[in-house]
Structure 1
């Protein structure tokens, strides 16, 4: 049995009854059996003494004002430059969210608004799905539709996206969706998977429930024929294999003049007008595909350093005319060495090297992996990563030999990310 309403075993029905009884003091009138079973399926039909719904979700929704979040107007930089959007539906009637992570200027986004507003934007879109899109899909198809499908486009996803604060932000997004919107995902069609995908998958999977992992289809780069088995072409922009274009010929359907978008907007406009959830700033950007892109300097906050949480950073002092070498053991090929650091008042030299012996070596005796250069880490925090093909002892080297008068304090966060050795997902090249 699936654990869905109308397809439950006697044991599953008993679990559902117990859950409802345990949570009756917080239950709302609109929490029907579809709502309750989503929580159970999201936890593999396990019932806890203190269900996550009761001990965590109610408190979280109050903290984030999730019930009224559609009254919030997201910052302009998030609306204009966080890539993605709802567009069309798949053959199961699930609305489609197109996520274009590779085109996000996430570092600039991080420094152009507060972190919580980026996370709040994801909550906004989730609430929009449940309050408006899904109810209209139910009316349109005459049956219950509880989930949304995702096209996760990884085109241009690279090492720059492994910046530690950005990774933390994205994993927090995953945690929010899994912990507070369980069983929301219909299918995830992951396309244009890069070589780096196993590393990124290894980062993401601890935050995903087993049921969520099973819904991910990896379609690689030659995906268009395959994806049309699940989505009709009139429900997709041309760029992703469909036949929808904007009136000006745009293949991404970014325009507010899109025919598909206009159809959905008519529905949403009527729904919002009669709703008890006023959305004065609700606009068509929630129904078109935003492509992200480079964020203009005008959005940059002045105090970049104040946005960085240094609680997990380590510190070292690089004496004048000296260097500091930090050793990291890499045991598996295709691991990723990742770094972030900043200095207080002056620049610093930085490079990555591979030892050729087990003993400390001079720069010229080691293999240069990342060229040593002076960086302005006192102005903008420096970040980066490099994929390691050969196991061994690697050195992150801070160089202050060019300064004979000033020592440098460096705050740094450096770690080694192993590849995904379990091969749980295989990239399918069609």
Structure 2
């Protein structure tokens, strides 16, 4: 049995009933609670109810932290991403699924990562996925059938060594992992076209981020790729540039109003070149170590702001609140305020803030525990802004490096 609505075995049907009961408390927080949606999580975990429950509860936490429910209306990607990240949605396949085109050749990974943070790229990808998910729901209503996944056309023409730059591969890997963990069964088929001789090397760098089910959905097409695409997409839905008859209203065969073709990022966008920050302190964090910096926040709704950059490589960073007085606490024992992530602060300096809802000791953690070879030098400035707006600079107390 396929594990889809109308094609469930008795065991799969029982698993669905159990799953619905076990997640009753979070159903109102889900973007869709019908059986089609719930079965996606069960199929992703081979109908192991406990594992599917853990996966979907983690997703709810992800939606809250990333403000996914409002990301389309409340957040706009930086201008450099809008202009130079290639790709876009254009048309529907023969079953009504939206088609997304990724155009690799014109992409300038280094220029983009020198001009915007890795976190902005992650948010952009989440926003794009949510737009596609919304489009699937619209198609479901319009066609009166379930449309829950997208078709991708991956145009590999021009793929070269510049696309295999290590920070770019790492960022793309994190995006793939995010997609796998939070949008199960979101892909119907991926068509890779115009793959150059370097493609196997590039694929080997990212394939371990993909689950086996996703790998099975990849189809590397040969010289007859236009013919194959037309078997899955009606000609009027396929741009002329990809073997169909669709054009923009002005006759553009590439449909540039829907598909962005990117390009080389001008150096004027490079953040490190254009922003000079004078930091208050600098510290070297040993390989395999974590540095904790304590800040006393005396008034509720104070703003804790930080700026930092690293030398040579990325650095982990998160914000926590102490739950016990005195002594050291490891990150796992504290209340998470800003999840620890790896920041490409050696490329783009980080500048952000968080509102502290209640007073207490807030801890900025610079995490180098994942590095077994390289120490990192981090330059930083931190300030606490009380609700009244008066700037209060507090000395930090580095409680030390906690070996891992």
Normalised to the residue count of structure 2, the TM-score between the two structures is 0.66
Whether the 8 Å contact between 2:40 and 2:184 is mirrored in structure 1 is yes
In the alignment, structure 1 residue 295 sits paired with structure 2 residue 265: yes
Whether the 8 Å contact between 1:74 and 1:121 is mirrored in structure 2 is yes
Normalised to the residue count of structure 1, the TM-score between the two structures is 0.62
Change (3 A) 1:171 1:12: same
Whether the 8 Å contact between 1:237 and 1:253 is mirrored in structure 2 is yes
Whole-angstrom distance in 2 between the partners of 1:196 and 1:135 = 37
Equivalent position of 2:109 in the other structure = 106
Whole-angstrom distance in 2 between the partners of 1:238 and 1:129 = 22
Equivalent position of 2:291 in the other structure = none
Alpha-carbon distance, 1:49 to partner = 5.0
Runs of 4+ in 1 over 4 A off after TM superposition: 303-306, 310-314
Whether the 8 Å contact between 1:134 and 1:147 is mirrored in structure 2 is yes
In the alignment, structure 1 residue 11 sits paired with structure 2 residue 11: yes
Alpha-carbon distance, 1:4 to partner = 0.6
Alpha-carbon distance, 1:197 to partner = 1.8
Whether the 8 Å contact between 2:169 and 2:206 is mirrored in structure 1 is no
Change (3 A) 1:162 1:8: same
Equivalent position of 2:226 in the other structure = 224
Whether the 8 Å contact between 2:136 and 2:148 is mirrored in structure 1 is yes
State the number of aligned residues.
289
Change (3 A) 1:139 1:109: same
Equivalent position of 1:52 in the other structure = 54
Change (3 A) 1:35 1:62: same
Alpha-carbon distance, 1:42 to partner = 2.0
Equivalent position of 2:41 in the other structure = 39
Whole-angstrom distance in 2 between the partners of 1:123 and 1:208 = 17
Query: What are the Cα deviations for residues 265-311 of structure 1, in whole angstroms up to 9, with x where unaligned?
Result: xxxxxxxxxxxxxxxxxxxxxxx0000111122211025999xxx98
Alpha-carbon distance, 1:145 to partner = 0.7
Of 173, 183, 194 in structure 1, the residue corresponding to residue 185 of structure 2 is: 183
Alpha-carbon distance, 1:110 to partner = 0.5
Of 117, 120, 127 in structure 2, the residue corresponding to residue 117 of structure 1 is: 120
Q: Secondary structure at the match of 2:6?
A: coil
Equivalent position of 1:238 in the other structure = 240
Change (3 A) 1:295 1:45: same
Q: Any residues of structure 2 matched to 1:157-236 within 5 Å, and which? A: 157-236=159-238
Whether the 8 Å contact between 2:86 and 2:102 is mirrored in structure 1 is yes
Whole-angstrom distance in 1 between the partners of 2:287 and 2:251 = 49
Equivalent position of 1:88 in the other structure = 91
Equivalent position of 1:27 in the other structure = 27
Q: Secondary structure at the match of 2:180?
A: helix
Whether the 8 Å contact between 2:92 and 2:233 is mirrored in structure 1 is yes
Equivalent position of 2:139 in the other structure = 137
- Stretches of structure 2 that go unaligned for 5 or more consecutive residues are 277-283, 289-310, 314-345, 349-373, 377-404
Alpha-carbon distance, 1:412 to partner = 11
Query: What are the Cα deviations for residues 330-356 of structure 1, in whole angstroms up to 9, with x where unaligned?
Result: xxxxxxxxxxx969xxxxxxxxxxxxx
Whole-angstrom distance in 1 between the partners of 2:22 and 2:285 = 39
Whether the 8 Å contact between 2:180 and 2:210 is mirrored in structure 1 is yes
- Stretches of structure 1 that go unaligned for 5 or more consecutive residues are 256-287, 315-340, 344-378, 382-410, 414-430
Query: What are the Cα deviations for residues 101-138 of structure 1, in whole angstroms up to 9, with x where unaligned?
Result: 2221111111111110111001001111222x112211
Q: Secondary structure at the match of 1:243?
A: coil
Of 67, 75, 79 in structure 2, the residue corresponding to residue 76 of structure 1 is: 79
Whole-angstrom distance in 1 between the partners of 2:272 and 2:101 = 32
Query: What are the Cα deviations for residues 379-420 of structure 1, in whole angstroms up to 9, with x where unaligned?
Result: 999xxxxxxxxxxxxxxxxxxxxxxxxxxxxx799xxxxxxx
Q: Secondary structure at the match of 1:60?
A: helix
Q: Any residues of structure 2 matched to 1:309-320 within 5 Å, and which? A: none
Query: What are the Cα deviations for residues 165-198 of structure 1, in whole angstroms up to 9, with x where unaligned?
Result: 1001111111111100110101111111122222
Alpha-carbon distance, 1:31 to partner = 1.1
Change (3 A) 1:203 1:305: farther
Bigger shift: 220-229 or 100-109?
A: 220-229
Alpha-carbon distance, 1:227 to partner = 1.2
Q: Secondary structure at the match of 2:91?
A: strand
Q: Secondary structure at the match of 1:217?
A: strand
Bigger shift: 170-179 or 14-23?
A: 14-23
RMSD across aligned positions (CA): 3.0
Alpha-carbon distance, 1:50 to partner = 7.0
